[in-house]
Amino acid sequence: MNNIEQIKEALSKATPGPWSKEGCELWHRGESYGGDSPHAYIGDLKMMQDRNAHLIAQAPTWLAYLIDELEKAQKEIHQMREAMIDVAENTGRLENWAKERLLESLFSTDACPTE
């Protein structure tokens, strides 16, 4: 399993985001106290500096965003590589065709003047 797959798996098992820092606590505020998206207590942040708590609270949302952007970029790179291969192959075909036409015109009996 590669790192991206490990991150996805960890995100899928974690309490869903978004998380928020509320006072000294980290919470996921769902739609209700029960049901499909309940409120969830994530942890106590009393001993943690605010900047660290903010990073931890945003991590699930930011990681999901970055993975999505990475996958989009990887897909675009793959498509660009395929397009470059097509261009290279077609350029080679075009060059061969042009050479053949040039040789045909140079050595064609129609190209020689008749007397």
pTM of the entire predicted model: 0.57
How many C-beta atoms lie closer than 10 Å to residue 17's C-beta? 17
**For the residues 6-11, what does the mean pLDDT come to?**
84
- Euclidean distance between CA atoms 18 and 4, whole angstroms: 20
45 near 26, Cβ under 8 Å? yes
Quick one: 41 exposed, middle or buried, by C-beta within 10 A (0-12, 13-18, 19+)? exposed
Cβ contacts of 74-83, under 8 Å, gap ≥ 24:
none
Which residues sit opposite 22 in a β-bridge?
25
* Beta carbons within 8 Å of 21's beta carbon, 6+ residues apart: 45, 50, 53, 54, 57
Give whichever of 7-11, 13-17, 38-42, 51-55 has the largest mean pLDDT. 7-11
Instruction: Express each pLDDT in 32-58 by its tens digit.
Output: 555 555 667 677 777 666 667 777 878
**For the residues 15-37, what does the mean pLDDT come to?**
70
Instruction: Express each pLDDT in 62-115 by its tens digit.
Output: 899 999 999 999 999 999 999 988 888 888 787 888 888 888 877 766 655 555
